[in-house]
Amino acid sequence: MEIITVPCLSDNYAYLVQGPDGVCLVDAPEAGPIIEALETRGWSLDTLLITHHHHDHVGGVAELRERYGCTVIGPGAEEAKLPPLDRAVEGGDTITVAGTPVEVIFVPGHTLGHVAFYLPEAAAVFTADSLMALGCGRVFEGTPAMMWDSLSKLAALPPETMVYSGHEYTSANARFALTIEPDNAALKSRADAIAKARTEGHPTAACKLSEELATNPFLRPDSPEIQDLLGLQGAPAAEVFAEIRARKDSF
């Protein structure tokens, strides 16, 4: 199975997945770069998976559907806000896409119907604007408690899982993370690696879940060091998470 990162717009990513029986796309910020990536490889597009309704994730759906006749699948909870769906899915569903099973995980918070797509055979999860590299999406429609619950579901996946998020926000996320956990050696090392990768023009929005668990402050509200820095010793994880999210919002 091959996963291709496709830069779109100013800082979005779409992901092409070539499975044993076809090609699927996760999110469609704009059609042009995705068409170019497909044509360069001689691929067609069989299925398009949508994570949530924001325009920077669905702007290319209509053009791609018209060009390739692909099946469009997205969250039923947001169907009224999405381009027309051929199939609506809910958290807990398992579907077969490009010849591989895909588990739908309900991850509201950024939007109320946001879903992530987990491909166990590829050890990959596509999280868009829920869990992000060294961060998480803004809580636009849900609540911090809702987002924390969603992140907890993703954190429970196997640690070797590769997390593919929707934006190139990693450098800014690293700068913020270091204000929350300045003595985390793994975080410092990762921040240096991210700076080098971006200087060389490489995307950094995909990483192993194990690395996120060790360095992403939004997954680490149980850390005594973080709780001490925030003055929230012994507080529930959801409360600590909410404080971290509030600080990021004004960072």
Annotated binding residues for Zn(2+), written as ranges, equal 52, 54, 56-57, 110, 129, 167
C-alpha distances in Å from residue 150, one per residue of 113, 131, 176:
11, 8, 21
- Binding site membership: which residues? 52, 54, 56-57, 110, 129, 167
The 100-106 sheet, strands edge to edge: 94-97, 100-106, 115-119, 124-128, 162-165, 206-208
**Amino acid (1-letter code) at residue 28:** A
Question: What are the DSSP calls for 90-113, one per residue?
Answer: -TT-EEEETTEEEEEEE--SSSTT
CB environment 64-79: b (16+ within 10 A), e (fewer):
bbeebebbbbbbbbbb
Contact assessment for residue 61 and residue 53, using Cβ atoms and an 8 Å cutoff: no
Contact assessment for residue 244 and residue 217, using Cβ atoms and an 8 Å cutoff: yes
CB under 8 Å to 232, separation ≥6 — which residues? 239, 240, 243
State how beta strands 100-106 and 87-89 pair: unpaired
